[in-house]
Structure formats: C-alpha cells, structure tokens
Structure 1
Amino acid sequence: MPRPDPPTPLIHRAADRFTTEAEGRRTHHAFSFGAHYDPANLGFGPLLAYNDDTVLPGHGYPEHPHSDVEIVTWVLGGGLRHEDSRGHGGLVVPGTAQRLSAGDGVRHTETCDAGASSAVRFVQMWLRPDEPGGEPTYAAHDAGDALATGELVPVAGAGTAAPVGTRGAVLHAARPRAGARLRLPDAPTLHVHVATGAVELEGAGPLTEGDTVRWPGGGGAGVRVLRDDTELLVWTLP
C-alpha cells in the first residue's frame, strides 16, 4: 500500500496575530491570550502561549502570579530583568534560555531597566506541565557558544541546563547566515517560528519575521536561510 502523505503544515502569518498595546510595551500573541479569544486557536499540543514582546526602558510587567505552567523565555535583543518570589533574579540576555516552572504558585516581575540603552524584545512560551502542583523551580541555560555554529541547537528541555516539566518538549534555536541550509529535528510534531529574518521551509514555502508553522509530521524538513539576521525557534513536541 502507498504511504499516506504527511499532514499539511498549518502556517500562521505574523499579520494575523492578536496584538496587545499597553504603556511601554507591545505584545503579539500567536494563540488566544487574555482579552483575545479564538476558540479555534487556543494552543498547539502542550503549547499554551507564544508571545512576542517588546518592552521599553522603565516599563514591563509588575508582580503577578502563575501556577501550573512551564514558562520559557528567549531574549532576541536587549536585557530582561526577572525577579521572582522564590529569590531568583537577574538580567536575561540573548543566547540564554530562562525556564520558570510555576508549580503550585509563584509571583514574578519582568521589566526593562530604566537606564537601558534600548528596549528589550523577547519571546515567551508557556507549556502545560505533565504534573500539576509541586515546588516552583527556576533554571537558565547559556547557549551562546553553541549558537555560534549556525546550527539548530537545543536551548531548553531535555539535555539542557533548563529542562521543562513537559515530557518530550525541547526548544531549539539557530542563528544561521544567509544561504545556510538546515534540517528540522526529527520529531512527531514541530512548532517553527521565524523570530527574525526570513527562510524558505520545505513543504511550507517562504516565511518571514513573525510567521509560524504548526506541523505534525514535519520532522526532517529542509530549511534554506534567506537573510543574515535570521533567528529561528523550533519546538519539538510529543
């Protein structure tokens, strides 16, 4: 019998994202979030939120609570100041993945320092944990040296210093140069996000900044990089 065709990738364009504007910050939401509700777009597998934030110096998110969610933050430019009720804090910069497992409850703040020379731009991703409750934990993984290769490298999840409580979920990042060719990780399900720049993805076509692809069965597809400023984020999901 002939093998069935793999599932078609679902492409979401940057222009179709929900947007929230508040004093000193702007957020683009890939999924339903807050006041933005679309019953057909509540998430993808264990991914519950996928937010692209820009925060001006002296602004950000005042203290607020979380529980039963895995929060992974990846900074694209500038520095993000994080402080939480468990005593974890510091400045998160490009090349470092931060993971906060909220467990049975944690409070934190996220801001751009008032004296910063530029805004901070970051992607924040929320996942559903395998087990609710438990003690909140924090971790960070500096992937700067590995990113210098231009290849897709794991930055959060199993095998990194920032594991997540969602079995089978791993975030990969790449900063390739124009003309490079990459291959997506071989996994049952992929979520591909062009954080900056542009690529051509086998089976999905050209993608530019802010575009995402949700793809069951997309593992192993080829990527051709179209611009030097490209930064690619790829979740492998169970």
Structure 2
Amino acid sequence: MSLLVVGSIAIDTIETPFGRVENVLGGSSTYIATAASYFVTPVKLVGVVGGDFPVEHMKFLESRDIDLEGLQIIKDSLTFRWGGRYHYDLNVRDTLFTELNVFEKFNPVIPESYKKTMYVCLGNIDPVLQRAVLQQIQKPRLVVGDTMNFWIEGKREELLKTLKMLDVLIINDAEARQLTNEPNLIKAGKVIRGMGPNVVIIKKGEHGAMLLTERTIFSAPAYPLENINDPTGAGDSFAGGFIGWIARTDD
C-alpha cells in the first residue's frame, strides 16, 4: 500500500565520544522514509532542501526507491543544518547549532499523485504544518504523527488541535510527561489518548517502547546492543519501521 512521509531533511554534523562526522544526511523524514523503504516501496517523500544539498544524498534516497516528486529544491538557498554533541550517556545531547535556512519557510505542498495515499507519517514538524498536510490528503486509512518538546512548549494549543487528527502518536517518555504533566507513563498514555489519538506509542530508548489502546497496554523491550556509536534518528527510524510494516501488510 502507498505511504507518504512529510518532515525535515537536514545536513548534520554530529559528535559522540566515539567519533565525529560532518555533512551527513539527517532530518526526520529522511530516517522515517529510509526505514519504511525496507518494508514498502516506493515511499512518497515531501520536504525541502537547498541548492547545496549533496548529490550523493539525493542518490541515496533514490537508491531506497523513495519517490522525490514532492521534494522542493530551492536552488538559491541553503539546506537545513543541525549540529549536536552526545555525552557518554547517549540519551543526553547538546545542540551546537541550528540553521533552519529553507526549512524556516517550509510550506508542504502535496503533489496531486500523492493525495490519495492510504498511509501517512508526519515527522516532528510544526503542528500547524502537520494539519496543513492532512487537509490536502483524501481520506487516509491511517495517520501516524510525531512531535517534540519544542512544539509541546511553544505551540501547545496548535499541537492539541493536531492531535485530534491523528490515529497514532509516537512520542518519547520525556515528551509524554511534558505533554501531560503526569510522571507515570501508563497514566500519561491514557491522558494523551483522551486528546485524540486512538493509539499512543511511548518510546523509552534502550528500555524499549509501550503501546496503549483503549483496551490494551503492550510493552516491548529493546534488543540490547553492545556497541552504539550514534543514536541520531533512532526514534524516527522506529516510526518508519512501524508505519512501513503496517503499509506493507495493510493491517
């Protein structure tokens, strides 16, 4: 079945205690679409980049059978760039710089060929833009959304409006507590369900994830890894795998 992913596309510079990389492909929609492409293709991508977006990054997306008809290229501007440094506890990171560039004025325009897409995954962009995307889609079967602390704090009322339009919200444990002011994650999940989504998935990093529906609470551990070099995009990849499998099985 068809899958649409909308979110940020970035060029990242990342430091961890184990190494440093510059100008690597990043952004929420990039990780979501790439992970989903292992289960369903083509993945329809909507995002924006500048004229500096590296050719090798474009070729990588194409190699994963990601449909780039919805990719806006603003040739006289620069791509969204982000830099971060992780601590030895890889759950902790510092943002070194954020250069929004073309992403600052991103207006997601859904191509006509995308408008009947059955499955939609919204990366953690402005909740106003998330709603604008959904207003362009004709009766999707399932809408999965993500958000982040920045929107919870800065655009709470807009976020609450968007939550009413989601079938599934994927959020991490800290964000769930921030959104609900509830320390217990089960209670937080139930509160979020009351805000709109039928299903809430709370990510807990190395401790796995928890899914809550009206009648079910399901908790899954994470597979333990001995060597972890860079956790960037882990949550987005999780979302991509989730929606990709559902789109593949249509269940």
Q: Shared topology, TM-score over 0.5?
A: no
* Superposition TM-score, scaled by structure 1 size: 0.32
Greater strand percent: which structure? 1
Greater helix percent: which structure? 2
